[in-house]
Amino acid sequence: MLLLCPLLLFPQFSNILTVQTPPTMSMKAGVETPVKLHVKLNSGYHVNSDKPADEYLIPLKLTWTSGPLAVKSVTFPPPRMEKYAFSEKPLSVYTDDFDIITKFEAPANTPKGEKLVTGKLRYQACSHTACYPPRTAEVKIAVNLY
């Protein structure tokens, strides 16, 4: 049976989380602009929130590579407190779909034109019965600075 369905089995391990980035953003120099990352988790999985309750748990972390745009803030949505069979206390997690908002601002004197902003979303996912090693999703956003 397993030999017949590797293509159906493997995606659940390799693609638990996906990050959708917006199309090319238009951004005015000197103006703070929010950028939304849409994160989608496969059904039945969760990732720790950015502030997990347990010190050993690996938090969700978004880091942006330094570039022409300054990161003014990164805002995660309110987490869900979910109880799992393997934990005594509810865990602070994200499930299903959620958005992370980053506010960027380019100094007014930044040269205009196309910019590429890159970042990394580090996450550690679990199902109800197993956990997966921490992974990093690369994030790239094209910005048209005017």
Decide whether 13 or 138 has the Cβ nearer to other proteins.
Answer: 13
Please give the residue ranges that form the binding site for other proteins (CB under 8 A): 1-2, 4-5, 8-9, 12-13, 56-58, 84-87, 91, 124, 126-134
Tokens matching residue 77: 């949505």
Decide whether 8 or 108 has the Cβ nearer to other proteins.
Answer: 8
Decide whether 118 or 136 has the Cβ nearer to other proteins.
Answer: 136
Tokens matching residue 137: 């999703």
- What minimum distance in Å lies between the beta carbon of 132 and other proteins? 5
**Residue 74 near residue 109 (C-beta atoms within 8 A):** no
- What minimum distance in Å lies between the beta carbon of 129 and other proteins? 4
Single out the residue of 3, 12, 34, 27 nearest to residue 100, CA to CA.
34
The DSSP call for residue 1 is -
Q: How far is CA 47 from CA 73, 116, 126, 139, in A?
A: 21, 27, 6, 17
- What minimum distance in Å lies between the beta carbon of 50 and other proteins? 15
